């Protein structure tokens, strides 16, 4: 049986690869004090009755030829209540996950789709199930739901893909959705659950350098979301940018991004620590990458208004000097690491 991950909080766990974070997110019912996958989402309800009538409603008659997939779906409609009635308190196995994927493919009921995505997402928090779902062909099934106009379904699909993306091999299949998710994150409602779910997925997809080149054309827009978003959004965008900033191949794209001067306000002493430390680490990572490449930011090759001019200008230098006297020891330590440029 797969081991349950131990979570630091009520909603998920951080898994680190090198210096980067990949986040596993659980959605649905709040987790109890003893974290466990949420398997109670398909509780008996009127929507379950639709499952029992699904076959005739879909246009199949008794004499029609029925594929094994549809047979499995019918059996699942009767099996689902036993599986999710609250007494079944364990991780789903491969057969159960297969039935859940059949359900997700065949039903058009939004409430059932949403609940199926929640269970798949919660089960995808376990490394063994991340592999099983991929081998069952589940990633395209889940991925197709990010196009759904229902924002709640879209959010749950993004959360499920985010958990699946913790597995590096899964990222090979998930990368086909990166451009669409980037567009949705940048054009969707600011600070919305869908935007945050998309940012979590994109952050996981940048934990390794393999797919970071796909983000080059979105860096300037990500900085705009960073500056416009609330505290939660700022933290999530910074996590993504931090992953990019550790890769020397992305340094030029980051420094060349057109960024509003208000970015420097992130280095004000009153800024929340979780934001300020990440903004300082972004600066530190970029400096480190410049050292690795043997470049010093002395001869500007970037246009006015770029991140380069903000980070290596006099106003930023003044803010760094002021932060040396910050009341928080972690902030002080981080500032002293950043070279004086």
pLDDT in tens, 175-187: 999 999 999 999 9
Q: Residue ranges of the alpha helices (H) in the chain?
A: 46-52, 54-57, 68-84, 94-106, 110-123, 127-135, 138-143, 151-164, 168-174, 178-187, 193-205, 219-228, 231-245, 251-256, 273-293, 307-311, 314-323, 329-337
DSSP state, residue 5: P
Q: How many CA atoms within 13 Å lie on the side-chain side of 38?
A: 23
- What pLDDT score does 339 carry? 73
Answer positive or negative: Cα dihedral of 153, 159, 162, 166: negative
Q: How far is the C-alpha of 64 from the C-alpha of 77, rounded, in Å?
A: 19
Token output for 104: 């997700």
Q: Is the whole model's pTM more than 0.85, yes or no? A: no
Q: Angle at CA 254, nearest 5°, toward 242 and 23?
A: 25
For 181, the token pair is: 């998710």
The residue ranges of the chain whose pLDDT is under 70 are 1-23, 25-90, 293-300, 340-341
| Block residue for tokens 């057969």 | 95
Angle between helices 178-187 and 193-205 (to 10 degrees): 140
Residue closest to 24 by CA, chosen among 42, 43, 2, 4: 4
| pLDDT, position 279 | 98
User: What is the Cα–Cα distance from 218 to 186, expressed in whole angstroms?
Assistant: 9
């Amino acid at each position: 049986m797969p081991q349950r991950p131990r979570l630091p909080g009520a909603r998920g766990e951080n898994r680190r690869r090198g210096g980067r974070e990949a986040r596993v997110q659980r959605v649905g019912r709040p987790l109890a004090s003893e974290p466990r996958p949420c398997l109670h989402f398909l509780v008996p309800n009127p929507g379950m009755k639709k499952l029992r009538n699904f076959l005739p409603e879909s246009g199949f008659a008794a004499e029609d030829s029925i594929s094994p997939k549809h047979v499995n779906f019918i059996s699942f409609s009767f099996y689902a209540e036993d599986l999710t009635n609250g007494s079944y308190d364990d991780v789903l196995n491969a057969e159960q996950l297969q039935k859940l994927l059949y359900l997700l493919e065949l039903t058009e009921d939004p409430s059932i789709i949403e609940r199926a995505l929640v269970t798949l997402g919660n089960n995808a928090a376990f490394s063994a199930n991340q592999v099983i779902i991929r081998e069952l062909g589940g990633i395209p099934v889940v991925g197709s739901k990010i196009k759904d106009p229902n924002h709640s379904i879209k959010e749950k699909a993004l959360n499920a893909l985010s958990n699946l993306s913790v597995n590096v091999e899964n990222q090979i299949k998930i990368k086909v959705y990166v451009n669409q998710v980037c567009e949705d994150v940048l054009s969707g409602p600011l600070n919305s659950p869908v935007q945050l779910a998309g940012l979590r997925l994109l952050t996981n997809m940048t934990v390794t350098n393999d797919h970071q080149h796909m983000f080059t054309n979105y860096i300037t827009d990500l900085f705009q979301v960073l500056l416009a978003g609330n505290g939660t959004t700022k933290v999530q965008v910074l996590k993504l940018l931090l992953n990019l900033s550790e890769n020397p191949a992305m340094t030029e794209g980051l420094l060349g991004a057109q960024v509003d001067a208000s970015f420097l306000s992130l280095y004000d002493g009153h800024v929340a620590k979780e934001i300020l430390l990440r903004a300082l680490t972004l600066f530190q990572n970029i400096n480190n990458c410049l050292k690795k490449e043997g470049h010093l930011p002395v001869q500007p090759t970037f246009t006015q208004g770029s991140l380069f001019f903000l980070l290596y200008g006099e106003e930023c230098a003044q803010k760094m000097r002021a932060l040396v006297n910050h009341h928080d020891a972690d902030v002080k330590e981080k500032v002293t690491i950043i070279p004086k440029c």
